[in-house]
């Protein structure tokens, strides 16, 4: 399946997509309550939590339930678009 989300091609199957070098997977934690997990497609850690202790975060799970898998995937992709897992801060767009 190929689709477009905010101008970026998304490829994957129902519940799992590859988006901007991340794997986003939707899962139903309870009936009617969906969340999504985010991992890097290359298997590396999402972020380094502490450089002193070499602690890293390899998977992130959205904290808000969605009514459907699509909603959970969209929340996760919005977090990626907001550069939540980037070392570079997002620059504010100038008007």
Residues with Cβ within 8 Å of residue 72, at least 6 apart in sequence: 26, 27, 34, 35, 36, 62, 65, 66
pLDDT at 2 over 80: no
Q: Kindly state whether residue 31 falls inside one of the protein's structural domains.
A: yes
Q: How many structural domains are present in the chain? A: 1
Q: Kindly state whether residue 93 falls inside one of the protein's structural domains.
A: no
pLDDT at 3 over 80: no
Tell me what pLDDT residue 94 has.
Answer: 45
Q: Kindly state whether residue 28 falls inside one of the protein's structural domains.
A: yes
Tell me what pLDDT residue 65 has.
Answer: 95
Q: Kindly state whether residue 92 falls inside one of the protein's structural domains.
A: no
pLDDT band at 91 (very low <50, low <70, confident <90, very high): low
- 15-72 pLDDT, tens digit each: 788 899 999 999 989 999 999 999 999 998 887 776 677 778 889 999 999 998 889 9
End-to-end CA, the chain: 36
Structure tokens at 79: 């977090």
Other beta carbons within 10 angstroms of residue 57's beta carbon come to: 12
Helix (H) / strand (E) containing 74: helix 69-81
Which residues span the domain enclosing 16?
2-81
User: Is the overall model pTM greater than 0.75, yes or no?
Assistant: no
Q: Kindly state whether residue 57 falls inside one of the protein's structural domains.
A: yes
């Amino acid at each position: 399946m190929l689709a477009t989300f905010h101008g970026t091609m998304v490829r994957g199957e129902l519940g799992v997509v590859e988006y901007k070098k991340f794997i986003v997977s939707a899962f139903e934690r309870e009936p009617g309550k969906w969340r999504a997990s985010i991992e890097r497609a290359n298997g590396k850690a999402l972020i380094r939590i502490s450089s002193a202790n070499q602690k890293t975060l390899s998977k992130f799970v959205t904290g808000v339930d969605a009514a459907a898998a699509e909603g959970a995937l969209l929340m996760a992709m919005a977090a990626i678009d907001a550069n939540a897992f980037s070392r570079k801060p997002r620059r504010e767009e100038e008007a």
